[in-house]
A and B are shown apart, each in its own frame.
Chain A
Amino acid sequence: MDIFDFSEGREGYYGEYGGVFLPEILQATIEELLVCFRECKADPKFWQDYVALLQNYSGRPTPITHLENLSRKLGGAQIYVKRDDLNHTGSHKINNVMGQGLLCQRLGKSKVIAETGAGQHGFATATMAAKFGFECKIYMGAVDVARQRPNVFWMENLGAEVIAVEDGQKTLKDAVNECMRDWVTNMADTHYILGTACGPHPFPEMVSWFQSIIGLEAREQMLKQAGRLPDRVYACVGGGSNAMGIFQGFMDDDVELIGSEGGGHGVGSYMHSSRLAYDDATVGVAQGYKTYFLQNDEGNMNETHSVAAGLDYIGVNPIFAHLHDQGKVRFEAATDVEVKEALKLTMRTEGLIPALESTHAFVTAIKEAPTMGKDQIILINQSGRGDKDIFTIADALDDAKWKSFIGGKADQYRAENN
């Protein structure tokens, strides 16, 4: 099944979702991008260069780890984890960014802009820009700047300018709007490195293509390491790029695909980021594309929430909206509380520290593994590492020693300033 084999006149559409809903001023830019992307996708050398770059720079292929302790403890399916957290910069975001960096070179543009939520995409973009010699601006909601300072620190030290967006809810969606505003002004020399499989065509297809490297590797590794394909594959879904990445390796197989969204405070709370697992989202058009959005009856976006900044987003990738309709991917939600528990369990039993985003996939897998047979296999995409979340996790765990350390640091800085 090739979801990107569009029928005549429906390019960029997945069922009724997707499309290009952009101001006229950007039509020429998006057309230029589409033409360039089509050339890259048709050129085997481009993909070879891309894979080589990720091997040499980011440590791909990332391994697969068998979680024997956790599997034994849960007493059900054998759990394997795809370790995209072991990428340079600590998440799968680098895959897409390196790909778009190569594409930006082909476009002949010298500046890049990007939105970021958790900061992982911004961090990866700043890293790529430093390596490729692009001027780099990162737009980040002021709320996210406040909760993800370590990533902001690295972006700035890598030479990027980080702009805190003070409009709207001051989170990821507002950073996307601000990127659009920059792009409509500076498109002549600027490429917009959208970080997830959302936005106007060709971004969902392009980001999915770059991220498909996760699934390509994982399928081969599972066959080699476990001797067969998994029965189920789990991934967290914010915009949906890491999930699209790993799922593409198993689309044509008899493998169940499960996306885990940000359940926040839970069903009925209206403080969550579950577009497909809960019933609160409806179809709409915003940020350049048509999909399920968390919005009111008049089409204005609702407030969203997730403990994981990277999942805290109003819309979902249009490919998933379609695959959800078709029953090809199942969507579940993991609440903030469940995420903290699953993270503790994973750290203690396996010595792994998944990012809060990725931990959402662990929650759903941990719930379901005991209901499966010992001969069954599940694969989780650990899309990012949790080090960046140290402040949030320390708060969640109410760690007294950490608090005292931060207090001491604060005192030291204050003393230096006086």
Chain B
Amino acid sequence: MGLQRFIAERKQSKDILVMAHVVCGYPSFEENLQELEIMAEAGVDLVELQFPFSEPSADGPLFVRANEQSLKSGTTVDQCFEFMKLVSARFPFKVLMMGYYNTAFKMGEEAFVKRVKESGGVGYILPDLPIEESAKLHRLSEEAGIEPIILMTPTTSDTRLAKLGAVSRGLVYVVARKGVTGSKTQMGDDVLALIERCRQHTDVPLGVGFGISSKADIDVLRGHADVAIVGTAALKTWQEGGAPGLRQFFAELMA
């Protein structure tokens, strides 16, 4: 089932979906599995599996260190895909690849798309790959039936939003604020206005991420966005409170 249809079906029984995030191999693949089990139990709908990269320039301090530590402990791209295969078979949520373009570029775009598809992934997020550079990758993805997730941001002009909207498929990732992952966002009128602006340029579902850490944040988005995207806050909770902490975090988040 395609990503967009999956979101539409899930939205029949709830008003907003949740997408969570883990960095593959950090703290370890075993712990990733425990985190994902908790996310599945809580009813998380989508998960980004971040493939670690040595130059994660769009990430904040917590994910930077997670990328670094994962690579230090020997995580390979192959292991990440194997993990994706296992996870997408085991859990009811849909899985997306998240990472940096060099990972796909070095494999070759054909091989990358094939591997995401074979591993049960429904799409991918490559934040450092602008649409000007993605024509071939998008075509290959369409042929394979997986979705390239486009990002829309507060600094994006209406002209450019129209361009982005024209090539968007599956899900659009709305970046709630400037900056890198992991700092707090004031969820308010600015974010809602941004969602409204993005909505004018695309019919695909809108996911909102960057700085979402609580039920209150999600409540603001309810009725405006289709998916709330939670990243750093979950990892931080796992580091501080382990499995019980994370279970409580998602229980409260999705109450």
Given contacts A177-B55, A285-B128, A25 and B175 within 8 Å (CB-CB): yes
Does B214 have its Cβ within 8 Å of any Cβ on chain A?
no
Please tell me if the beta carbons of B178 and A184 are within 8 angstroms of each other in the complex: yes
Bound: A22/B64 CA distance, A: 17
Q: Are A168 and B54 in contact (CB under 8 A)?
A: yes
Alpha-carbon gap, A301 to B53, bound state (A): 8
- Chain B residues numbered 95-113 whose CB sits less than 8 Å from any CB in chain A: 100-103, 105-106
Between B57, B65, B76, the greatest number of chain A beta carbons within 10 A of the residue's beta carbon is seen for B57
What interface size band does chain B fall in?
35 or more
B155 A187 Cβ-Cβ under 8 A: yes
Bound CA–CA A125/B33 (angstroms): 47
Q: CB within 8 A of A185: which of B64, B106, B179?
A: B179
Q: Please, how many angstroms separate the alpha-carbon atoms of A173 and B156 in the complex?
A: 27
CB distance B160 to A299 under 8 Å? no
B58 in contact with A184 (CB, 8 Å): yes
Contact of B180 among A22, A184, A282, A301 (CB under 8 A): A184
The answer to whether A110 has its CB under 8 Å from any CB of chain B is no
Residues of A within 8 A of B52 (CB): 300
Chain A residue at smallest Cβ distance from B154: A25
In the assembled complex, A399 has its CB within 8 A of some CB on chain B = no
Say if the beta carbon of A20 comes within 8 Å of chain B.
yes
A176 to B71, CA, bound (A): 20
CA distance A184 to B77 in the complex (A): 27
- By a CB distance below 8 angstroms, the chain A residues around B133 are 19-21
Q: Given A21-B133, A28-B155, A167-B65 in contact, is the A298-B179 Cβ separation under 8 Å?
A: no
- B173 — nearest CB in chain A belongs to which residue? A24
* CA of A247 to CA of B153, assembled, Å: 40
Could you tell me the distance between the alpha carbons of A28 and B155 in the complex, rounded to whole angstroms? 6
B160:A27 contact, CB within 8 angstroms = yes
The A interface, classified by DSSP as helix, strand, loop or mixed, is: mixed
| Contact present for A286 and B156 (CB under 8 Å) | no
- How long is the Cα–Cα vector from A22 to B155 in the complex, in angstroms? 13
Contact of A218 with B by CB under 8 A:
no
Report the minimal beta-carbon distance from A175 to chain B, rounded to whole angstroms: 11
Determine whether the beta carbon of A177 is less than 8 Å from that of B153: no
Q: Is B152 an interface residue (CB 8 A)?
A: yes
Would you call A180 an interface residue if the criterion is a C-beta within 8 Å of the partner chain's C-beta atoms?
A: yes
A284 touching B68, Cβ below 8 Å: no
CB distance from B73 to the nearest CB of A (A): 13
* B112-166 CB contacts (< 8 Å) to partner A: 127-130, 132-133, 150-157, 160, 164
Contact between chains at A28 and B178 (CB < 8 Å): no
Establish whether residues A168 and B156, one from each chain, have CB atoms under 8 Å apart when the complex forms. no
Q: Closest Cβ of chain B: how far from A92's Cβ, in Å?
A: 26
Near B by CB (< 8 A), chain A positions 1-56 give: 19-29
Contact of A298 among B57, B106, B151 (CB under 8 A): B106
Complex alpha-carbon distance, A185 and B100, angstroms: 19
Q: In the complex, A293 Cα to B109 Cα: how many Å?
A: 18
Q: Is A401 interfacial (CB 8 A cutoff)?
A: no
Complex interface bits, B85-102 against A, C-beta within 8 A gives 1, otherwise 0 = 000000000000000111
The residue in B55, B68, B179 that gathers the most chain A C-beta atoms within 10 A of its C-beta is B55
CB atoms of B102 and A25 under 8 A apart: no
Judge whether A181 and B129 touch: CB under 8 Å: no
On whether the beta carbons of A187 and B178 are closer than 8 Å, the reply is: yes
Chain A, 43-84, CB within 8 A of any chain B CB: none
Nearest B residue (CB) for A177: B57
Say how far B102's CB is from chain A's closest CB, in angstroms.
4
Among A176, A184, A301, max chain B CB count under 10 A is at A184
* A181-B60, A300-B53, A301-B55 known; A24+B153 contact, CB < 8 A: yes
A residues in contact with B180, CB < 8 Å: 181, 184-185
Residue A297 lies at the interface, judged by CB distance under 8 Å to chain B: yes
CB interface residues, B 37-77, toward A, < 8 Å: 52-61, 64-65, 68, 71, 76-77
- Residue numbers in A under 8 Å from B151 (CB-CB): 23-25
Q: Does the CB pair B156–A27 fall under 8 Å?
A: yes
Q: For B60, B105, B164, which residue has the most chain A Cβ atoms within 10 angstroms? A: B105
Inter-chain CA distance A301–B55, complex, in Å, is 8
Nearest to A176 among chain B residues (CB) is B57
B103 in complex: contacting residue of A176, A181, A298, CB < 8 Å: A298
User: How long is the Cα–Cα vector from A26 to B130 in the complex, in angstroms?
Assistant: 10
- On whether A25 and B155 interact (CB within 8 A), knowing A173-B55, A300-B54, the answer reads yes
Q: Is the CB of A185 within 8 A of B127?
A: no
Q: Are A299 and B105 in contact (CB under 8 A)?
A: yes
A221: interface (CB < 8 Å): no
Residue of B with least CB distance to A26: B155
Q: Determine if A287 is an interface residue (Cβ-Cβ < 8 Å).
A: yes
* Cross-chain contact B127 with A24 (CB below 8 angstroms): yes
Interface residues in chain B, defined as those with a beta carbon under 8 Å from any beta carbon in chain A: 52-61, 64-65, 68, 71, 76-77, 100-103, 105-106, 127-130, 132-133, 150-157, 160, 164, 175, 178-180
24 residue pairs of the A-B complex, CB under 8 angstroms, read A21-B128, A22-B130, A23-B57, A23-B127, A25-B151, A25-B154, A25-B155, A25-B178, A26-B155, A27-B156, A27-B160, A28-B155, A28-B157, A167-B65, A173-B55, A180-B58, A181-B57, A186-B178, A187-B178, A285-B128, A286-B100, A295-B54, A299-B53, A301-B54
By Cβ-Cβ distance, the 8 closest A-B pairs, closest first, are A299-B106, A299-B102, A185-B179, A300-B54, A180-B57, A25-B153, A24-B151, A301-B54
